[in-house]
Amino acid sequence: MGLAAAGFDWDGGKLEKCRRHGVEIADIEAMFQRLLWVIPAPVHSRREDRLRAIGTDPKGRHIFAVFTLRGRHGETRVRPISARYMHTEEIQHYEAQKTQAEKASRSEER
C-alpha cells in the first residue's frame, strides 16, 4: 500500500532526529512506498493530526514512523516527524497482530 501524496515536506530538526535513529532520508521516503500499516496517533499532538506507520525500506528492514500530512500549493505532502528501525520484538508483535487480523477477516467473509 502506498500513500497518495505529492512528495515530502522535510523539517531540518526532524530530519536530524531521524538520522540519530540511524534512518536516512532515502530509506524513509522509500518506506512510504512500502507501507504495511497506518493508524492515527491522536495523543501526540493537539495542533495537528498525526499518524503512525510501519513500512519497509528497500532492504526489507521494518521502519516505524510518525508523520503528518501537510497541504502545500494544493498538494498533500508527507511531513515525517520521527522514524526509526523496529526492534525484533516489535516486528514479531506486528506480525502476530497482522496474522490475527487476517484470520478475523477470513472468518467474517465466511
pLDDT one-digit tens code per residue, 75-100: 899 999 999 999 999 999 988 888 88
Helix (H, G, I), strand (E, B) or coil at 107: helix
The letter for the amino acid at 103 is K
11: Cβ–Cβ under 8 A, 6 or more apart, which residues?
A: 79
**pLDDT of 62:** 94
Spatial CA neighbour of 11 closest among 79, 82, 84: 79
Bigger pLDDT: 41 or 27? 27
pLDDT band at 3 (very low <50, low <70, confident <90, very high): low
Cell numbers describing residue 19: 538520522
Asked if 63 contacts 82 with a C-beta cutoff of 8 angstroms, the reply is no
pLDDT band at 66 (very low <50, low <70, confident <90, very high): very high
Average pLDDT (12-32) is: 86
